[in-house]
Structure 1
């Protein structure tokens, strides 16, 4: 077969690319959709910040959690006004995270993963608790969990094995976020897709193990053991250079210094 012949596309596989194209257009023109960095403070630029630029700032490792939460609280509140432009803008700002979640889902299911993750992200905008820390993490985790449940129902015969179909969603583009290290670890078969989601949610997105257990319907003790084993493999792979990457140290530091949120009781379920 001619290598220039494109692979057969899966349903909805270009949706996130289409959204990104329209999102970039939002940042152009004399009056782009933007937020006022002076009002938000917390190290954000003291001027109007167009949403595409805001997305890049929030996903950079140097951006603090307080600034990220303040910006996302504003985005969620504006999206809740019913203004379609702000709902679309919130999706655009979250695109790096949505791409990663869609990438994980595409390894498990053959359905329209991009449409599912976007749909449930939009629904989560209406229900996420903006008074709790980790707003965007809660949004992405809720969208991932709901999309995974929906796709699993549509694919009852699925074995749960990774899907390497030609039309699989491409890995996320390099935004300099620690999630990319998890994606590299998954591709290297150091951790599974479920373990990548668990580590990403509970270490990088600030979701407690208890909240994650409630959200996914899994026993907390099982998740704790699963995460402990996965983190050990991840650390070993980083230290051996298997996941050589300039951002590997970010994940290594996070998993080494954050409290393990160990169960208060050590009884097996």
Structure 2
């Protein structure tokens, strides 16, 4: 696999460029900071985002404090200047880079394509996120990872030799890798991020509905009903052609990544 290189002082790779922008926010006399007073495990007062990223990665920082920080960051990214969008990306970069590294294994194109797809999906999910939700960073990284995985599947499918008799092939369906379908449905406003997370976790990852419901503080019956309504709406939108344009899934998994 190949790596994109920098031109001048600005990296051409999307994640490298995000790190450079994040570094700029973190330097100087007035670095971008998050108010952490009253949050267990975090210093009181404004904490620069560069320092905050390390604290959020620490196992000693309680989940509630991480959620509170991400709630602030996402709310500001959705309502304030672009520096908060850069801050959100920078705080999530460890997770985004880890996902990109896993997906790059065996990838024979420029890994910058994967990185750009992952970053773009993260930004789409960031705009749609509910700041009051929990485990926000994990959700955003999951959506970004799904987009990168879908790109690998699409690339592998296009490179897989098909039959010499195209008339014998199944017609293209208006959907492809389920993760990508969910991501596009969220981007189009057809599903909320929470609904996509529910379907993705319990259908695609085979997590128990009871576990998802417990993590989100809702009764199991509520989670089941939410999933049923969201899936019914998604199926109807697919039939109407409102969620389309996704690659045909191959009979096998040529990407070899599940």
* TM-score, length of structure 1 as denominator length: 0.54
| Greater C-alpha Rg | 2
Cross-structure match for 1:64:
62
- Residue correspondence of structure 1 range 1-269 to structure 2 within 5 A: 8-10=2-4, 14-38=13-37, 41-107=39-105, 109=107, 110=109, 112-157=113-158, 214-215=199-200, 218=203, 223=206
Contact residue 145 and residue 215 of structure 1 kept, 8 A: no
TM-fit CA distance, 1:74: 0.4
Q: Decide whether aligned partners of structure 1 residues 43 and 13 sit closer, same or farther in structure 2, where only a CA change above 3 A counts.
A: same
C-alpha separation in 2, matches of 1:104 and 1:153: 17
Q: Which runs of 5+ in 1 are unaligned?
A: 1-6, 160-209, 226-257, 265-269
C-alpha separation in 2, matches of 1:88 and 1:114: 15
TM-fit CA distance, 1:47: 2.0
What is the SS of the residue equivalent to 1:105? helix
C-alpha separation in 2, matches of 1:37 and 1:136: 17
What is the SS of the residue equivalent to 1:35? strand
What is the SS of the residue equivalent to 1:44? coil
What is the SS of the residue equivalent to 1:80? helix
Q: Decide whether aligned partners of structure 1 residues 52 and 219 sit closer, same or farther in structure 2, where only a CA change above 3 A counts.
A: closer
C-alpha separation in 2, matches of 1:130 and 1:150: 28
C-alpha separation in 2, matches of 1:29 and 1:219: 45
* Cα deviations by residue, 1:66-100 (Å, 9 ceiling, x for unpaired): 00000000000000015111101110111111111
Q: Decide whether aligned partners of structure 1 residues 49 and 125 sit closer, same or farther in structure 2, where only a CA change above 3 A counts.
A: same
Contact residue 20 and residue 92 of structure 1 kept, 8 A: yes
Q: CA RMSD in A?
A: 3.4
